[in-house]
């Protein structure tokens, strides 16, 4: 579970970076639930690195959606 949580954390962080590209901000609507799933799996597996990456992806994704109006 630790490895799966870490992999999901890395993928969520990459998805967060993809959401920063102009006109791809909508990707955060997909990435946030994915990151929350990774956060849950990381918590079950007690993977601190995965929890940190997923937590950052969730927070930054929400901020990006708020600033972009949720569309861009």
Could you report the per-residue pLDDT of 32-64, keeping only the tens digit for each?
A: 999 999 999 999 999 888 899 999 999 999 998
Cα–Cα distance, 56 to 37 (Å, whole number): 13
Q: What region, left, alpha or beta, does residue 65 occupy, with left being phi > 0 and alpha being psi -120 to 50 degrees? A: alpha
Question: Residue 23 above 90 pLDDT?
Answer: no
Please list, in sequence order, all residues whose beta carbon lies within 8 angstroms of the beta carbon of residue 21, skipping any fewer than 6 positions away: none
Cα–Cα distance, 29 to 48 (Å, whole number): 24
Q: What percent of the chain lies above the pLDDT cut of 90?
A: 56
Question: Residue 17 above 80 pLDDT?
Answer: yes
Q: Tell me, what's the pLDDT at 26?
A: 85
Q: Tell me, what's the pLDDT at 58?
A: 94
Query: What mean pLDDT do residues 6-30 have?
Result: 89
- Locus of tokens 């969730």: 58
Handedness of CA 62, 64, 69, 70 (dihedral sign): negative
């Amino acid at each position: 579970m630790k490895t799966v949580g870490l992999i999901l954390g890395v993928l969520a962080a990459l998805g967060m970076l993809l959401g920063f590209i102009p006109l791809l901000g909508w990707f955060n609507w997909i990435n946030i639930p994915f990151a929350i799933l990774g956060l849950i799996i990381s918590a079950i597996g007690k993977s601190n690195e995965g929890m940190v990456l997923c937590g950052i992806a969730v927070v930054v994704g929400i901020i990006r959606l708020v600033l972009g109006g949720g569309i861009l």
